[in-house]
Amino acid sequence: MRFTEWDPVYTQILDSFGFGREGDETARDVLASFVSPFDRSRLAWEGKTVAICGAAPTLDDELARVEDADIVVAASTAADTVREAGYDLDLMVTDLDKNPETAVELTESGTPVAAAAHGDNIPQIREWVPKFDTDHVLGTTQAEPRGPVVNWGGFTDGDRAAFIADELGAARLVFAGWDFDDPTVDEMKAQKLAWAERLLGWLEHRRGEQFSVLDGRRDDIEPLP
């Protein structure tokens, strides 16, 4: 995705939360100082079925959906659940807020980690990214990309994983461990889940695909341009 396509949506997200660009841009630049350009050819996902695993409590019961996927991507703590269940993981997507130790372990074993920079996680970037094997780190931002840090779309770890799969040419996306109505989350997280749902609605429209995770919800999603 080109940033010119993402920017109008990004502006809406910023306005919705009352965030400014400056924090995201500063975080992007901090992350850029720790990472190198990532060789995207390592992620040969063209024409593949990609499972996008979210960190909702339902993930344990939905892991069977992973079995027929060619590629498994996990957001945040879903990486631990997937690995503990015995599945191989192809990419972890994280903003370093919950289980950065898992990201360190994955990079040390050669599994790529997509690390996101945003205005609230600069301390985590400074603490954890230097501990990664940076040969296996894909630096990402929701702001304008710069240097080695890319922006392929997405806001939360989960929907960012879906946008990464789209950018890499995935033929089909399947979803496990997603709950847009999770009653256990706080108000901020609930708002982020609403945006994740809206962004997936936008992505499926762009792809000409229907994601089962949006079945029964699609008609109520406010469309994005």
The residue whose two tokens read 């990609």 is: 50
| Structure tokens given for 219 | 């008609």
Domains and CATH numbers, the chain: 3-220 (3.90.1480)
Tell me if 154 sits within 8 A of 160, measured CB to CB. Answer: yes
Question: Is residue 17 very low, low, confident or very high in pLDDT (cuts 50, 70, 90)?
Answer: very high
Across 77-91, b (16+ Cβ under 10 Å) vs e yields: bbbbbbbeeebebbb
pLDDT digits (tens, 9 = 90+) for 96-139: 999 999 999 999 999 999 999 999 999 999 999 999 999 999 99
Phi-psi region of 125 (alpha: psi -120 to 50; beta: other; left: phi over 0): alpha
Residue 181's φ and ψ, nearest 5 degrees, are -110, 25
What mean pLDDT, rounded, does the chain reach? Answer: 97
Question: Is residue 207 very low, low, confident or very high in pLDDT (cuts 50, 70, 90)?
Answer: very high
Which residues lie across from 73 on neighbouring strands? 52, 91
Percent of the chain with pLDDT over 70: 100
pLDDT digits (tens, 9 = 90+) for 77-102: 999 999 999 999 999 999 999 999 99
In this prediction, residue 220 carries a pLDDT of 96
Tell me if 104 sits within 8 A of 131, measured CB to CB. Answer: yes
In this prediction, residue 161 carries a pLDDT of 98
In this prediction, residue 225 carries a pLDDT of 80
pTM given for the model:
0.97
Give 183 or 75, the one with higher predicted confidence.
75
pLDDT digits (tens, 9 = 90+) for 174-206: 999 999 999 989 999 999 999 999 999 999 999
Question: Is residue 53 very low, low, confident or very high in pLDDT (cuts 50, 70, 90)?
Answer: very high
Residue 33's φ and ψ, nearest 5 degrees, are -75, -15
Interval 148-155 mean pLDDT: 98
In this prediction, residue 181 carries a pLDDT of 95
| CA–CA dist 167, 107 (Å, integer) | 21
| Structure tokens given for 83 | 């690995």
